[in-house]
Amino acid sequence: MTRNQSFEHLPTYIISASELDPYFYALYKWYPDVYIGAKHPVSEERIEKTNQFLERGMKYFPRDHRLPETAASNYIGYSADAPAPRRLRESIKAIEYLQYAAKLPGASSNVPFLLDYFYGRKARLEAELSDGENPSAAPSTTLSENEKETYLRLYLLAPDPHTRARLAGLLSRYGIDENTAFERARDYTQRLQTEHTQRLNYLPVDLWSTIVNPKEFDSATATPSR
């Protein structure tokens, strides 16, 4: 078996290995680097096979942000000369992976800027493929409310002032009021405080019955006289 043939069988080998131990994390880290770059040009099928395996890892490591971030990054650098429909499909999938990663603890500070890159790429490709009356107009990116929420969350969780300042620029460009992030955080904190107070004020049913009907409690627990 030649070296190229062995690489073509790698997906089968890696699936077998992960079935033996799906929690062997090193497999999910090693496979993308080895398989994608094994043959050039990199086909869409090769990237999808790689990301399908990473999705398998996401099922066993659902709170690991590195797997969806890696899956999104696999759509960078391999399809510059590919047809626009393929690049559009890849941009949409990359955005989905990054939105998933953004919700996980410890997500990389690169996530919001990768999202910005793919939002822009998606808008340009949609404009290129559009049959609109003015295809030469500069494409604009319009975010959904959920996408805006993602940016607000990432802004609040920015790991350092420099990243937060860069994110503030993105918020401004997308027409998102950064003060909204702090208002959401304040409302969320108040809700947590209210729920905490309610839990402190909560009494179990048996204790509540004891307070309301102490005589019944005394009669139920009294030691019978001999």
Q: What is the mean pLDDT of the chain?
A: 84
As a whole number, mean pLDDT of residues 196-225 equals 61
CA distances from 20 to 13, 15, 27, 100, 172 (A): 11, 9, 11, 27, 49
As a whole number of angstroms, the distance between CA 83 and CA 161 comes to 39
As a whole number, mean pLDDT of residues 213-218 equals 59
Q: Is the pLDDT of residue 118 over 60?
A: yes
Q: Is the pLDDT of residue 45 over 70?
A: yes
Residue 59 has a pLDDT of: 96
Say which range, 38-52, 181-195, 202-216, has the weakest mean pLDDT.
202-216
Q: Is the pLDDT of residue 51 over 90?
A: yes
Residue 56 has a pLDDT of: 96
At residue 125, the 3 state secondary structure works out as helix
Please name the CATH architecture into which domain 8-98 falls: Alpha Horseshoe (1.25)
As a whole number of angstroms, the distance between CA 171 and CA 29 comes to 32
**2 falls in which pLDDT band (50, 70, 90)?**
very low
119-155 in b/e form (b: 16+ CB < 10 A) is bebbbbbbbeeeeeeeeeeeeebeeeeebbbbbbbbb
pTM value is 0.76
pLDDT tens digit string along 132-182? 555 555 567 888 888 988 898 888 888 899 999 999 999 999 998 888 877
Residue 195 has a pLDDT of: 75
Angle at 163 between CA 161 and CA 166, to 5 degrees: 110
For residue 25, the tally of other CB atoms under 10 A from its CB is: 15
